[in-house]
Chain A
Amino acid sequence: MATIIINGTEHTLPEGEKLNAIQAAKLFGHEIPYYCWHPALSVVANCRMCEIEVGSKDPKTGEIKMVPKLVPGCQTPAKDGTVLVTDSEKVSVHQKMIMEYLLINHPLDCPVCDQAGQCGLQDYSYEYGQAAHRFVEERIVNPRKDVSDAIQLNQDRCIMCTRCVRFTREITGSGELNVINRGNHAEIDIFPGQPLDNPLAGNVVDLCPVGALLDKDFLHKQRFWFLSKHDSICTRCSTGCNIAAEENRGQLWRFRARYNPKVNDYWICDEGRSSYKSANEPNLLSAMFARGVAGGGLTQVGVEQATTLAREGLQRMAREGGAIAGILSPFLTVEEAYVMSAYLKGISSSAVLALGPIPSMGSDQTFTPDKIAGRNGDTSFLVPRPFTIHAEKCPNRMGVEAILSHFQGEVIDYAAISARVASGEFRALFVASDAIDPAYMEDDAAKLRRSDFLVVMDTTVTPLARLADVVLAGATFAEKAGSYVNFQGRLQYSEAALPPRDGSLPDLDLLAILSGKGTAPIHSRTILAEVATVVPAFSIVTEGKVPEFGVIIGGTPEPATVGAFPYTDPWLTPRGDHPTESGPNGRKQP
Chain B
Amino acid sequence: MQPDDPSLKRMTPPKLNILEKTYLPQILGGLAVTGRHIFGAAIGGKTFTEQYPEEQHIPSANYRGVHRLNKDENGRIKCVACMLCATACPAHCIDIVGATAPDTWDDREKYPENFVIDELRCIYCGMCEEACPVDAIELTGLYDLTGLSREEMIFDKTKLLSVFDLTKSVEPMKTARTSATPGESSSTHELVTKPTDGPSMRAHS
Among A124-169, those with CB < 8 Å from B are: 144, 154
Of A70-78, A197-205, A217-225, A375-383, the segment with at least 4 beta carbons within 8 Å of chain B is: A217-225
Given the known inter-chain contacts A584-B6, A584-B7, please indicate yes or no for A112 contacting B81, CB distance below 8 A: yes
Q: How far is the CA of A223 from the CA of B82 in the complex (A)?
A: 8
Contact between chains at A226 and B83 (CB < 8 Å): yes
| A109 beta carbon closer than 8 Å to chain B | yes
For A221, the chain B residues whose CB sits under 8 A away are 97-98
Given the known inter-chain contacts A111-B133, A225-B87, A226-B83, please indicate yes or no for A220 contacting B7, CB distance below 8 A: no
Among A220, A221, A585, chain B packs the most CB atoms within 10 A around the CB of A220
Contact of B81 among A154, A220, A584, A585 (CB under 8 A): A220
Q: Which A-chain residue is minimally distant from B83 (CB atoms)?
A: A223
Say how far B5's CB is from chain A's closest CB, in angstroms.
6
Q: How far is the CA of A226 from the CA of B108 in the complex (A)?
A: 23
Interface string of A498-526 (1 = CB under 8 A from B): 00000000000000000000000000000
Q: Which B-chain residue is minimally distant from A154 (CB atoms)?
A: B109
| B99 beta carbon closer than 8 Å to chain A | yes
Q: Which A-chain residue is minimally distant from B97 (CB atoms)?
A: A221
For B81, the chain A residues whose CB sits under 8 A away are 112, 220
Interface string of B3-42 (1 = CB under 8 A from A): 0011100000000000000000000000000000000000
Q: How far is the CA of A144 from the CA of B134 in the complex (A)?
A: 22
| B185 beta carbon closer than 8 Å to chain A | no
Q: How far is the CA of A168 from the CA of B134 in the complex (A)?
A: 38
For B134, the chain A residues whose CB sits under 8 A away are 111
Say how far B184's CB is from chain A's closest CB, in angstroms.
30
Among B83, B133, B134, chain A packs the most CB atoms within 10 A around the CB of B83
For A111, the chain B residues whose CB sits under 8 A away are 80, 82, 84, 133-134
Contact between chains at A585 and B7 (CB < 8 Å): yes
Contact of A220 among B5, B6, B98 (CB under 8 A): B98
Interface string of A105-116 (1 = CB under 8 A from B): 000010110000
For A144, the chain B residues whose CB sits under 8 A away are 109
Say how far B115's CB is from chain A's closest CB, in angstroms.
14
Contact between chains at A584 and B99 (CB < 8 Å): no
Interface string of A557-590 (1 = CB under 8 A from B): 0000000000000000000000000001100000
For A226, the chain B residues whose CB sits under 8 A away are 83, 87
| B110 beta carbon closer than 8 Å to chain A | yes
Q: Which A-chain residue is minimally distant from B6 (CB atoms)?
A: A584
| B100 beta carbon closer than 8 Å to chain A | yes
Q: How far is the CA of A112 from the CA of B84 in the complex (A)?
A: 10
Say how far B172's CB is from chain A's closest CB, in angstroms.
23
For B5, the chain A residues whose CB sits under 8 A away are 584
Given the known inter-chain contacts A220-B99, A221-B98, A584-B6, please indicate yes or no for A112 contacting B87, CB distance below 8 A: no
Q: How far is the CA of A144 from the CA of B101 in the complex (A)?
A: 13
For B80, the chain A residues whose CB sits under 8 A away are 111-112
Q: How far is the CA of A111 from the CA of B88 in the complex (A)?
A: 13
Q: Which A-chain residue is minimally distant from B131 (CB atoms)?
A: A111
Contact between chains at B109 and A109 (CB < 8 Å): yes
Contact of B108 among A112, A154, A223 (CB under 8 A): A112
Contact between chains at B82 and A112 (CB < 8 Å): yes
Among B29-84, those with CB < 8 Å from A are: 80-84
For B6, the chain A residues whose CB sits under 8 A away are 584
Q: How far is the CA of A221 from the CA of B97 in the complex (A)?
A: 7
Interface string of B123-163 (1 = CB under 8 A from A): 00000000001100000000000000000000000000000
Say how far A374's CB is from chain B's closest CB, in angstroms.
35
> How many A-B residue pairs lie within 8 Å, measured between CB atoms?
34
For B110, the chain A residues whose CB sits under 8 A away are 112, 220
Contact between chains at A112 and B109 (CB < 8 Å): yes
Contact between chains at B87 and A223 (CB < 8 Å): yes
Among B91-118, those with CB < 8 Å from A are: 97-100, 108-110
Say how far B128's CB is from chain A's closest CB, in angstroms.
14
For B7, the chain A residues whose CB sits under 8 A away are 584-585
For A223, the chain B residues whose CB sits under 8 A away are 82-83, 87
Given the known inter-chain contacts A112-B81, A112-B82, A112-B108, please indicate yes or no for A219 contacting B100, CB distance below 8 A: yes
For A222, the chain B residues whose CB sits under 8 A away are 98
Say how far B114's CB is from chain A's closest CB, in angstroms.
12
Say how far B2's CB is from chain A's closest CB, in angstroms.
9
Q: How far is the CA of A149 from the CA of B26 in the complex (A)?
A: 73
Q: How far is the CA of A226 from the CA of B83 in the complex (A)?
A: 10
Say how far B83's CB is from chain A's closest CB, in angstroms.
5
Q: Which A-chain residue is minimally distant from B99 (CB atoms)?
A: A220
Q: Which B-chain residue is minimally distant from A111 (CB atoms)?
A: B82
Q: How far is the CA of A264 from the CA of B100 in the complex (A)?
A: 33
Q: How far is the CA of A109 from the CA of B81 in the complex (A)?
A: 12
Among B81, B97, B109, chain A packs the most CB atoms within 10 A around the CB of B109
Say how far A21's CB is from chain B's closest CB, in angstroms.
32
Q: How far is the CA of A273 from the CA of B110 in the complex (A)?
A: 24
For A220, the chain B residues whose CB sits under 8 A away are 81, 98-100, 109-110
Among A112, A223, A584, A585, chain B packs the most CB atoms within 10 A around the CB of A112
Say how far A140's CB is from chain B's closest CB, in angstroms.
17
For A109, the chain B residues whose CB sits under 8 A away are 109
Q: How far is the CA of A333 from the CA of B83 in the complex (A)?
A: 38
Q: How far is the CA of A111 from the CA of B84 in the complex (A)?
A: 8
Q: How far is the CA of A220 from the CA of B100 in the complex (A)?
A: 6
For B82, the chain A residues whose CB sits under 8 A away are 111-112, 223
Q: How far is the CA of A223 from the CA of B84 in the complex (A)?
A: 9
Q: How far is the CA of A142 from the CA of B195 in the complex (A)?
A: 50
Among A111, A219, A221, chain B packs the most CB atoms within 10 A around the CB of A111
Q: How far is the CA of A112 from the CA of B108 in the complex (A)?
A: 9
Q: Can you name 21 A-B residue pairings with CB atoms under 8 Å?
A: A111-B80, A111-B82, A111-B133, A111-B134, A112-B82, A112-B109, A144-B109, A219-B100, A220-B81, A220-B98, A220-B99, A220-B109, A220-B110, A223-B83, A223-B87, A226-B83, A226-B87, A584-B5, A584-B6, A584-B7, A585-B7
Residues of A within 8 A of B (CB): 109, 111-112, 144, 154, 219-223, 225-226, 584-585
Q: A112-B80, A154-B109, A225-B87 are in contact. List 6 more A-B contacts (CB 8 A).
A: A109-B109, A112-B81, A112-B108, A220-B81, A220-B110, A584-B7
**What are the nearest 9 A-B pairs in CB distance?**
A111-B82, A584-B7, A112-B110, A220-B98, A111-B133, A220-B110, A223-B83, A112-B109, A112-B80
